[in-house]
Amino acid sequence: MSNVRIQIHCPKCDYTEDYHRMLGQCPSCGSTYLDAIYITDEPLPWPEALRDRPSSMWRFRELLPILDDANIVSMGEGNTPLVRAENLAAMLGLKHLYFKDERQGPTGSFKDRQASLAISTLREHGVNEMVVASTGNVAIAYSAYTSRASMRLTVFTISSVPPEKMREVMIYGTELVKVTGTYDQAKQVALRYAQQNDLFYDRGVKNIAAKESMKTIAFEIAEQLGAIYGPDEDGRPWRTPDWYFQAVSGGLGPVGIMKAFRELEQFGLSHGLPQLGLIQSEGCAPMVRAWENGEAIATPVLNPQTRIATVATDVPGIAYTLLREEMLHTGGSFEAVSDEEAYQALKHVARLEGMSVEPATALAFAGLIAMVRKGQVHPNEIIVVNVTGHTFPVEKHLFTEDVFREMDVTPAAQTEIPQEGLLAALESVGRTVERVLIVEDDPGASQLVMRILKAYGVPEVFQAYDGREGIDQIEALLPDLIVLDLMMPGVDGFGVLDYLKAREPLRDIPVVVVTAKDLTAEEKARLTSQVDSLLAKGSFMDEDVLQGLMNEKLR
């Protein structure tokens, strides 16, 4: 189909052979970490040839290690949208923030790409039964794709995987073994089982197909950014982002991503490598600890303490060492955030961007927020976050009990409940803030606050664009809450506050001040006696900020 020659290469001893068989290890030095490399005499026919190809990751066929297209097992995986995250960007003070929406794969996570290529490769080499260890999503994706390929699959998983995910695995007829122990122990049991029964065992990052599949995410990102920003100054059609963010467990994803950007550079399609923002959960963050300690090999976590099973890799392997090397050259860092921070970020993103993700994915959002706050990420950089998986098998501890407000309005309930009971129920629903006035001269900032309030269910939001107009509207509307900018032409925020505080009933309206100004001690003192909450512009993600906006009145 093309003039690309695929070879298997050992990075350790440089052994090379043309690709025709599956190697578990290097025939020369025995290393178990091998790469596929691609050699051409002519330029790749990209991007032109890609335009008319069917929508899936197999558009990038030339740089994937498959010998015969007839072996491809596909369900349209890949070619996912790159979605601009404008609201979250505005909250974080960023200009170019994008989500690579991997939730849109056939089984709802980016593991679909891995399953498609890994299973296709096995089919090509006549393997029809395999074993894999998984923290959930590989189990689901491999189950779906082995079913399509009429292969038998045995999965070893850990007991913290949510039952919803386990049930989905079983729908496909997969043999599922739940190991009570750490993920590393589950892997060891799986390997032993495979050896005893002479079955193929998928080694994750050491499986060439698994790693190669992840490249397609980067190919798409570069192509999609090229369409947005146009060719670079040297005429290369595609673009490398400044940052790639992902929640990591074993680290397979970013290893493949970096290999892809190298290949795009090799073939003249884009330039350079992204910095990496790789996020782990505090309770199981061996890569982060090793990175912080300057160690090239990560120490296993003996007692993983995260509720996010998807990322519970306690013993990181070679991926950490490779990714650390990448970061030392191109920048970026490993970051840990707590499960709670991930859950918070999950809710913010759902409310602001309309995207519901699984907690593992949300670690990446929380990590991005943390790194923006620390100043590691700059406002003008192009940032892509891998939205790795969907939340439908959501874990139950994501929500506390008081999330739902219950109202029984069936006729039976109405006859049984005394009238006041129903009224009281209605009243408690109606006690939220109904009407908010935003007094802010910058229309962009005003729109942002408006969107946030709408996202949190405030029905009436009004805008005034200077202090004078603000005072008029306050008198006319008597809002339940005022969001007030300090720096405005004419009557400024201080002026509005002075006016309010001198008048009944205006003085009782809660005021939330939003400001970009560094306040003097005197100004601060003046404000603390007059306002309910003080927010700094560009730091809207702070917990106290949202709480300030939501206030106990808003629940």
Ligand X SMILES: *Cc1c(COP(=O)(O)O)cnc(C)c1O
Q: Interface residues with ligand X (CB under 6 A)? A: 109, 111, 137, 247-253, 310-311, 358, 360-361, 388-389
Closest to ligand X by CB, 308 or 448: 308
Nearer to ligand X (CB atom), residue 389 or residue 479? 389
Q: For residue 8, what are the CA distances in angstroms to 18, 21, 35, 59?
A: 6, 9, 6, 22
Is-cis flag, bond preceding 505, omega within 30?
yes
| Minimum distance of ligand X from residue 141's CB (angstroms) | 8
- Least distance CB 387 / ligand X (angstroms): 9
| Secondary structure class of 395 (helix, strand, coil) | coil
d(CA 59, CA 2): 13
For ligand X, give the closer residue by CB, 87 or 388.
388
- Shortest Å, Cβ 226 to ligand X: 24
Name which of 8 and 357 has its Cβ closer to ligand X.
357
Residue placing its CB nearer to ligand X in the complex, 356 or 463: 356
Report the nearest approach of ligand X to the CB of residue 528 (Å).
43
CB of 144 to ligand X, least distance (A): 14
CB of 511 to ligand X, least distance (A): 41
Beta strands in 313-439 (DSSP E): 332-337, 382-387, 435-439
Beta bridge partners of residue 201, listed in sequence order: 131
Nearer to ligand X, 134 or 473 (CB): 134
Bridge partners, 387 (sequence order): 101
CA distance 264 to 260: 6
Sign of the torsion formed by the C-alpha atoms of 524, 525, 530 and 533: positive
Tokens of 542: 């702070």
Q: Which is nearer to ligand X, 276 or 488 (CB)?
A: 276
Q: Where are the alpha helices (DSSP H) in 417-531?
A: 419-430, 443-455, 467-477, 493-501, 521-528
In whole angstroms, what is the distance from residue 141 CA to residue 125 CA? 20
Q: Which residues pair with 132 in a beta bridge?
A: 155
- In the bound state with ligand X, the residue whose beta carbon lies nearer, of 83 and 360, is 360
Which strands form 511-515's sheet, in the order they lie side by side? 460-464, 435-439, 481-485, 511-515, 533-536
Minimum CB–partner distance for residue 59 and ligand X (Å): 22
Which residue, 160 or 446, is less far from ligand X as judged by CB? 160
Compute CA distances 9 → 20, 25, 209, 266, whole Å: 13, 11, 14, 16
Minimum separation from the CB atom of position 81 to ligand X (A)? 17
* C-alpha span between 52 and 157 (Å, rounded): 40
* Choice between 109 and 120, CB closer to ligand X: 109
Tell whether the torsion through CA atoms of 124, 127, 133 and 135 is positive or negative. Answer: positive
Using the minimum distance from each CB to ligand X, give the nearer residue, 313 or 463: 313
389 versus 467: smaller Cβ distance to ligand X: 389
Tokens matching residue 100: 């690579």
Q: Closest separation between CB of residue 483 and ligand X, Å?
A: 36
Q: Quick check: 53 and 36 in contact, CB under 8 A?
A: no
CB of 462 to ligand X, least distance (A): 40
Nearest distance from C-beta of residue 389 to ligand X, angstroms = 3
Residue 528, Cβ density class (10 Å: 0-12 exposed, 13-18 middle, ≥19 buried): exposed
CA distance 105 to 392: 13
User: Number of C-alpha atoms within 13 angstroms, CB side, residue 294?
Assistant: 0
Q: What minimum distance in Å lies between the beta carbon of 328 and ligand X?
A: 19
